[in-house]
Amino acid sequence: MKRGIEIKLLPEAEKYFERLPFKMQRKFASAFDKTKFGYKGEWFKKLKGSDGIFEFRTRDENGFYRLFAFWDKSQDSKTLIIGTHGLHKKTNKTPLAEIKRAQRIKRNYFKLS
C-alpha cells in the first residue's frame, strides 16, 4: 500500500507563507498539491550537498521564492514533508547559510520527535 504525502509547515515557515503576496501563496499551494499527489518537477528539488534538504521553488518578476523542507517517513500511515522556513532572493543561487539553517531545524525536529 502506498503511503500518502502530507505537507506541514513549522511556525517559521507558516509565518513566511502568510506574509507572501497572494499570487506567491497560490503558486506554493499549487506546488504543495502537485507534490502531495506524487508529481515531480522543478517546483520541489533536493539541494545538492545537503543532508536531505529540499526546497519548494517559485518565482516572479521580483525574484525567487524558496521554502525549505525535509521528509519525515517515521509515520506508519503517511509521509510528511516538513517546511522549515523560507526566503525571497534576487538570484537563483541558494545561500549556504540557509541550507545549514534548514539542516539544524531538521536535526532539532527529529530530536524532539
Cell of 24: 506567491
Domain extent for 60: 4-112
Q: How many domains does the chain have?
A: 1
Cβ–Cβ contacts within 10 Å for residue 14, how many? 14
Three-state DSSP at 34 gives helix
CATH number at residue 74: 3.30.2310.20
Reading the chain (113 residues) residue by residue, the pLDDT tens digits are 567 899 999 999 999 999 999 999 999 999 999 999 989 999 999 999 899 999 999 999 999 999 999 999 887 778 899 999 999 999 888 999 999 999 999 999 999 86
Q: What is the pTM of this model?
A: 0.92
CA quadruple 46, 47, 53, 54: dihedral sign:
negative
